[in-house]
Amino acid sequence: MGITYNPFSLEGKTILVTGASSGIGQATAIECSKMGAKLIVCGRNKERLDQTFSKLEGDGHSLFEGDLLDQDAIERLVKETPSLDGLVLSAGKGLTLPFPFCSREKFDDIFNINFFSPVELLRLLTKKKKLNQNCSVVIIVSIGGTHVHSVGNSIYGASKSALQTMVNFTAMELAPKKIRVNGICPGMVNTPLIRRGTLTEEQLQADMEKYPLKRYGEPEDIAFGAIYLLSDASSWVTGTSLIIDGGVTAK
């Protein structure tokens, strides 16, 4: 007789994942479907979003194509979204730039994607009462800006640091509604975000050696952390961020 007990099961839960067309968001959506969840996957790229959708296990899933930098798209998503048991805010953008070149325009671009867009979506889902009691919100933050401060990373780090602060504040405000809010702070993960040409392959390999486990993370490494935070196994966890970084911040 097999063991059926699984405190990490997502059976019966409806979960919205943004940034689901690639990277961490895509992996999280796919792995959540394997745990029994019904997914709403959101992204800007229709072709890649369709690829994610085709990999979901089970049925009853749906997709939303839209740019969440557009207020109308956010409001349409909120209107079309059913009541949620889980929310993963994964959409984000990186930038490496020396501080003297960090113009207000550059700050606005990164903050709009990494901070204002997910916060506005969370605000409206809360205001419109789309988050069920015992809903779990998982926000993908980063060790960059919260635990590691590297040269050329000031705009990205500041946006993620602000996002971490919002994790703490919203966890406090939503706790009376039995809504939990937590973050995940990944280290470097093998996604298109790090393969955008800023660093050479040799530089990436050298950086990888700084990690005690001698590798970067895979999107699934982060997805499994999200599953824990989305599941009832973490029902007494809120207002914190799970560091998944191969041990690099422990040094």
Paired with 38 in beta bridges are 14
Instruction: For residue 125, give both structure tokens.
Output: 């889902």
Contact 227, 8 (CB under 8 A): yes
Of 42, 48, 88, 92, residue with least CA distance to 62: 42
Of 5, 156, 211, 216, catalytic: 156
Report yes or no: 162 and 144 within 8 Å, Cβ to Cβ: no
Sign of the Cα torsion 197, 199, 203, 204 reads negative
Widest CA span of the chain, in angstroms?
64
CA distance 249 to 210: 10
Of 146, 151, 26, 148, residue with least CA distance to 92:
26
d(CA 109, CA 112): 5
Q: Residue type for 156, please?
A: Y
Positive or negative: CA dihedral 150, 151, 156, 157: positive
Report the alpha-carbon distance of residue 185 to residue 183 in Å, rounded: 7
156 carries an active-site annotation: yes
Q: Half-sphere exposure (CA, 13 Å, Cβ side) for 61?
A: 25
* Positions marked active-site: 156
